Structure 1
Amino acid sequence: MAQINEAEVLDALRECYDPEIPVNIVDLGLVYGLNINQEEGHVDVTITLTAIGCPMAGEVMEEIDMRVRQVENVKSCKVDLTFDPPWSPERMTEDARWELGLV
């Protein structure tokens, strides 16, 4: 059975950017969960956004779905949006902090 490579899924997610901050969603700490069902070729991604009222939420979720489905052996993807716990800048990686000049 062909396997889905988690690192490739994360690389695909790194191609998705928050519409207000020029840093990818992984380094921003917006990806709260990643579950890969190898048997079904399915990926569940749980994300949050930096702002609850973000008018671009639908577009961000569509882009995540599109990019994850491009990963080899992925047959389907579901993107869930949560605001629990709320996002905070402490979730950012050190790379993201450098990129934004916060270090």
Structure 2
Amino acid sequence: MGVGPHIGLEWYDFIQQPERMYSRSSEPVRFERDCPAVLVPQGDEVELPAGSVGYITQGLGGSFTVFVDGNLFRIAGQDADAIGKEPTPPLVLPEGADDDAVEELVWHQLRTCFDPEIPINVVDLGLIYEAKVLPHPEQPGQRLVEVRMTLTAPGCGMGEVLVSDVSDKLKLIPTVVDTDVELVFEPPWTQHMMSEAARLEVGMF
């Protein structure tokens, strides 16, 4: 995702080793159709042609990171069929569910959002500063979710991709028809905002 001014050496070493994501145990893949993708970590939108071959290096939260011709690409969940994968099943919300039930699903969905380079969700990574469920101002019975989130580094090329992923995942929640996802950089992210599980994942203990 990039390196910010408050990153420790352990974190720097972790994100500077893309080869760690690729191994002989990575699942081989062949694209069955032309597929939109995002180049990682630059964030550029590209199209991978049918017949492209590579390896799935990360399949978390419904999206996939693939290694093709020496580059990493993010494949969105709605394009999972292009690599022979099933899309994520729809979410179910009981009829008449209150805001607390919706908020529980909000945090569940946020935990399905991952940086394509890092096998840690944005919640455990400490990128979500606030998430609020509100009545939609124009559609009675529907909801708006406001999120304030940050990045590990302000110049991260995947920032808008992550924002879009968060918004798309939240709109899959029944009754959530709109989102307001704001990128903020105060307070600046530090590795101390990561959960204990996340710090263990990157070897910070």
1:34 matches 2:131: yes
User: 1:82 — aligned with what?
Assistant: 184
Which has the larger Rg?
2
Aligned to 2:200: 98
TM-score (norm 2): 0.47
User: Structure 1 counterpart of 2:155, which letter?
Assistant: G
Structure 1 counterpart of 2:175, from 51, 73, 77:
73
Q: Distance in 1 between matches of 2:201 and 2:103?
A: 24
Extract unaligned runs of 5+ from structure 1.
none
Which letter maps to 2:164?
A: E
Among 13, 37, 57, the alignment partner of 2:110 is 13
- Structure 1 consecutive aligned stretches of length 4 or more whose deviation exceeds 6 Å: none
In the TM superposition, residue 98 of structure 1 has moved relative to its aligned partner by: 1.6
Work out whether residues 36 and 43 of structure 1, in 8 Å CA contact, stay in contact via their aligned partners in 2.
yes
Q: TM-score, normalised to structure 1's length?
A: 0.91
| SS of the residue 2:148 aligns to | strand
* Per-residue deviation, 1:19: 3.5
Larger RCO: Structure 1 or Structure 2 (Cα < 8 Å, ≥ 6 residues apart)?
1
Q: CA deviation at 1:99?
A: 1.6
Task: Tell me the distance in 1 between the aligned counterparts of 2:186 and 2:127.
Answer: 11
- Cα distance between partner residues in 1 of 2:161 and 2:201: 24
Richer in strand (by share)? 2
Three-state SS of the structure 2 residue aligned to 1:75 is strand
Match of 1:3 among 95, 98, 107: 98
SS in 2 for 1:70: coil
SS at 2:170 equivalent? helix
Q: How far off is 1:64 after superposition?
A: 0.4
Alpha-carbon offset, residue 73 of structure 1 = 1.8
Alignment of 1:51-66 (within 5 A): 51-66=153-168
Instruction: Among all aligned residue pairs of Structure 1 and Structure 2, give the percentage whose two residues are the same amino acid.
Output: 39
Q: Which has the higher helix share?
A: 1
Structure 2 unaligned spans of 5+: 1-95, 137-142
